[in-house]
Amino acid sequence: MKMTRNTGNKMPEAYLNGLIPTLNFTGFMVNFLDDYARGFIEFAGSGDVTVLDLGCAYGVAAIPALEAGARVVASDLDQRHLDILAGRVDEKPRKNLQCVQGKLPDMDFAADSFDAILCSRVLHFLEGDDIDTATGKMFRWLKPGGRITLVCDTPYGIWRNVAPVFEANRKKGERWPGAVKDLSPYLPEGARGKPAKGPAFMNLLDVVLLKRICSEAGFVVQRSGFIDRSDLSGVGRMDGRENAGVDAIKPK
């Protein structure tokens, strides 16, 4: 694992209030913590723990987890994001930060490495088989009794134009009803009247799917639900189902 130096790089300008674009145009970092991320950070401050933040972007959860006292491994697909994150960390907590560039489901860690894992707004960029592989790896990486927190985009928020397709695919019994290979017909309108940029593929998920993913990997689900992201502005109608979250435990 490679420690990233403090580069002093800055985050890009927000695309919309609360949405910071990634440098590789695969999505956005939501710059407001949801209740599931806050739970992860609270756990990070609970004692002598090591936690993993997968898809950490610019550190919206990793930095508070560091400040809470945890040892934090922050991982992201793009090394530039990790450089910016490291540049935002004060010198004292930086000794407990390790930045690792990697891509799910290919990356790997030793078994029983972490007390908790946060994987927020990452899995919906993966094909279904890769989601299962990645979740299985997370199960192995966690210590017995460790906790996993997953947060994903649903077809009811920014990508609400996909909802009819999602619901029709679910009725047909498709295992991944939110897998959309061409998002161009479903893109929402973005800031200043321009179409929002986004990934070419998404695998939108909901609470039912997140619970299934965890259970099939061997986790015991502790809580799950939709996440209201009305704290975001400029993205149109919201109905309280913008994200889905789950907390689960690896049995001892």
Domain range for 113: 19-161+204-249
| Cα torsion 46, 49, 52, 53: sign | positive
Hey, which of 126-140, 156-170, 172-186, 220-234 has the most confident mean pLDDT? 126-140
Hey, which of 75-89, 130-144, 158-172 has the most confident mean pLDDT? 130-144
Residue 197 lies in a domain: no
Per-residue tokens: 9: 């790089």
Residue 182 lies in a domain: no
Whether residue 238 contacts residue 157, with contact meaning beta carbons closer than 8 Å, is answered with yes
Q: How many domains does the chain have?
A: 1
Per-residue tokens: 167: 């619901």
Q: Which carries the bigger pLDDT value, residue 15 or residue 191?
A: 15
User: How far, in Å, CA of 2 to CA of 215, rounded?
Assistant: 32
User: How far, in Å, CA of 83 to CA of 181, rounded?
Assistant: 31
pTM listed for this prediction: 0.89
Lowest average pLDDT, out of 5-9, 36-40, 169-173, goes to 5-9
Query: What average pLDDT does range 34-42 have in this prediction?
Result: 96
Question: Using omega within 30 degrees of 0 as the cis cutoff, is the peptide bond preceding 21 cis?
Answer: no
User: How far, in Å, CA of 97 to CA of 68, rounded?
Assistant: 12
Q: Which carries the bigger pLDDT value, residue 43 or residue 182?
A: 43
Q: Is the pLDDT of residue 176 over 50?
A: yes
Instruction: Output the pLDDT for position 157.
Output: 85
Q: Are strands 179-180 and 71-76 parallel, antiparallel or unpaired?
A: unpaired
Rounded to the nearest integer, the mean pLDDT of the chain is 88
Instruction: Output the pLDDT for position 143.
Output: 98
Residue 180 lies in a domain: no
Residue 4: band (very low, low, confident or very high) from pLDDT cuts 50, 70, 90: very low
Residue 171 lies in a domain: no
Whether residue 141 contacts residue 218, with contact meaning beta carbons closer than 8 Å, is answered with no
Residue 53 lies in a domain: yes
Instruction: Output the pLDDT for position 6.
Output: 38
Whether residue 172 contacts residue 165, with contact meaning beta carbons closer than 8 Å, is answered with no
Residue 208 lies in a domain: yes
Residue 230 lies in a domain: yes
CATH number at residue 82: 3.40.50.150
Q: What angle do CA 207, 199, 122 make, to 5 degrees?
A: 40
Q: Which carries the bigger pLDDT value, residue 7 or residue 77?
A: 77
Instruction: Output the pLDDT for position 2.
Output: 35
Q: Is the pLDDT of residue 40 over 90?
A: yes
Find all residues with CB under 8 Å of 174, minimum gap 6, and list them.
none
Residue 178 lies in a domain: no
| Cα torsion 65, 11, 76, 101: sign | negative
Q: What angle do CA 18, 23, 25 make, to 5 degrees?
A: 80
178-215: pLDDT as tens digits: 999 988 788 765 533 444 556 779 999 999 999 999 99
| Residue whose tokens read 């000794």 | 95
